[in-house]
Amino acid sequence: MVNFNYYAPTQVVFGRGAEDNLPCLINKYGGTKVLVHYGGKSAIKSGLLQKVEDMLSGAGIAYVKLGGVVPNPRLSLVHEGIELCRKEGVDFILAIGGGSVIDSSKAIGYGVGYDGDVWDVYTRKYEPQSCLPIGTILTIPAAGSEMSDSSVITNDNGDIKIGFSSNLCRCKFAIMDPTRTFTLPAWQTACGVTDMMMHTMERYFSKEDDMEITDALAEGLIRTCMTEGTKALKEPENYEARANIMWAGSLAHNDLTGCGTIGDWATHHIEHELSGMFDISHGAGLAAVWGSWARYAREENMPRFARFAKNVMGIDITGMTDLEAAEAGIQAMERYFESIGMPTNIHDLLGKEVSDAEIEKMADIASHGDTHTLGALKVLKKADIIAIYNMAK
């Protein structure tokens, strides 16, 4: 077990009607002029945006609105948000949506206190000193950004996607009403479940083998995502299934499942290049490459993959070698991904072949021109990344 720092200060207000607490929460955390930041149609169509405006007006809290956040949120809208916040004297950001809206809010929050281009934060040219306080009404459980310290922004060409992590941006509060997720399409539900499972698995497949408490929590969390994910796809308005998924998504990325481990995160980086280049869903991209990563990296800790097969996938591994158990576990997870409609290779993800030139380019960006490695369980150079893309073709 390696030393760790655990800090997850976000106040979670969870359940039916939770959003009625919004004005109190904004007051509690000092908001007097709010940027209401959101995506597109769904917040309008569901009536949530109007309800929020009514609540803010009713409580005498001033606000301005900025919609239009897209999946893989873009830098240009972040710039627009920063300008708007400065012009209007905004002191609090309310993110309505999922990870993209929250991440866009975090980037705006960093940018308001910095004279330069906020992209410098993501390219590591500038270490932010502050972030506007952020609260969220979560409507898409997946990214876990509502309790995490991370945000990922994509440049406007759409070909560079970079993450940045700091405690400064942790949400002050997260309002989560599972009924708001009843209308999520099956594809988005499945992508979300995959993303939260992968947030846990990135931390679980580690070189360390001696953090029983963290492993037990992680295994329980992944199993829950699987059973409740299947249930929510069959019954989109099953409150308990939606509630379990929603809370699992937050716990999967608030560091709880990584206490004492060194996370790997190679699958996330390998996927980021795919969604940066092809603008596909992050969750689907993760499912498409995970099995290939697992087969490439497992030799570094085969007993852990065998444990995964037994404790997470429920496979009786008696009499199997570690390699056989590991392979059985990976295959079972791939069958699960398929059962919820996720691709398990890049062809199924994109609906077309990925070319050698595209693989070369993605591996080059991911490895910063072969000057940078990915992963912790198995350290991957550019050639390794190319090999994994090829295995996942």
Among 9, 30, 40, 116, binds a copy of itself (CB under 8 A): 9
| Residue number with CB closer to a copy of itself (214 or 301) | 214
- The answer to whether 301 contacts a copy of itself (rule: CB under 8 A) is no
- The answer to whether 8 contacts a copy of itself (rule: CB under 8 A) is yes
DSSP state of 374: B
Query: What x-and-dash track marks residues 188-227 binding a copy of itself by CB under 8 A?
Result: ----------------------xxxxx-xx-xxx-xx--x
CA distance 81 to 332: 44
In this structure, are residues 284 and 290 in contact, taking their beta carbons and an 8 Å threshold?
A: no
Taken in order 308, 310, 311, 315, the sign of the CA dihedral is positive
Taken in order 222, 225, 231, 234, the sign of the CA dihedral is negative
- The answer to whether 379 contacts a copy of itself (rule: CB under 8 A) is no
| Residue number with CB closer to a copy of itself (36 or 256) | 256
Among 11, 155, 230, 390, binds a copy of itself (CB under 8 A): 11
CA distance 272 to 297: 18
The letter for the amino acid at 238 is N
Footprint on residues 239-258 left by a copy of itself (CB under 8 A): 239-240, 243-244, 247-248, 251, 256
Q: How far is CA 238 from the centre of its chain?
A: 23
| Residue number with CB closer to a copy of itself (97 or 178) | 178
- The answer to whether 228 contacts a copy of itself (rule: CB under 8 A) is yes
Q: What's the closest the beta carbon of residue 99 comes to a copy of itself, in angstroms?
A: 19
Q: What's the closest the beta carbon of residue 288 comes to a copy of itself, in angstroms?
A: 26
Of the candidates 320, 353, 209, the residue with the CA atom closest to the CA atom of residue 331? 320
| Residue number with CB closer to a copy of itself (248 or 306) | 248
- One DSSP character per residue, 141-179 reads -SS-TTT-SEEEEE-TTS--EEEEE-GGG--SEEEE-GG
Of the candidates 386, 387, 390, the residue with the CA atom closest to the CA atom of residue 353? 390
Three-class SS state of 20 = helix
Q: What's the closest the beta carbon of residue 166 comes to a copy of itself, in angstroms?
A: 14
- The answer to whether 18 contacts a copy of itself (rule: CB under 8 A) is yes
User: Which among 4-12, 69-77, 154-162, 367-375 is the span making contact with a copy of itself, rule CB under 8 A?
Assistant: 4-12
- The answer to whether 118 contacts a copy of itself (rule: CB under 8 A) is no
CA distance 151 to 143: 9
Angstrom CA distances, 61 to 9, 83, 92, stand at 24, 20, 11
- The answer to whether 310 contacts a copy of itself (rule: CB under 8 A) is no
Q: With CB under 8 A, what is the number of residues at the site for a copy of itself?
A: 41
Q: What's the closest the beta carbon of residue 149 comes to a copy of itself, in angstroms?
A: 12
Residue located via tokens 């070369």: 360
In this structure, are residues 192 and 245 in contact, taking their beta carbons and an 8 Å threshold?
A: yes
What number of residues does the chain have?
A: 393
- The answer to whether 237 contacts a copy of itself (rule: CB under 8 A) is no
User: Which among 3-11, 130-138, 148-156, 274-282 is the span making contact with a copy of itself, rule CB under 8 A?
Assistant: 3-11
| Residue number with CB closer to a copy of itself (222 or 297) | 222
Q: What's the closest the beta carbon of residue 212 comes to a copy of itself, in angstroms?
A: 5
- The answer to whether 383 contacts a copy of itself (rule: CB under 8 A) is no
Three-class SS state of 130 = coil
Q: How far is CA 342 from the centre of its chain?
A: 16
- The answer to whether 4 contacts a copy of itself (rule: CB under 8 A) is yes
Of the candidates 363, 365, 345, the residue with the CA atom closest to the CA atom of residue 159? 365
Binding site residues, a copy of itself, CB under 8 A: 1-9, 11-18, 210-214, 216-217, 219-221, 223-224, 227-228, 239-240, 243-244, 247-248, 251, 256, 259-260
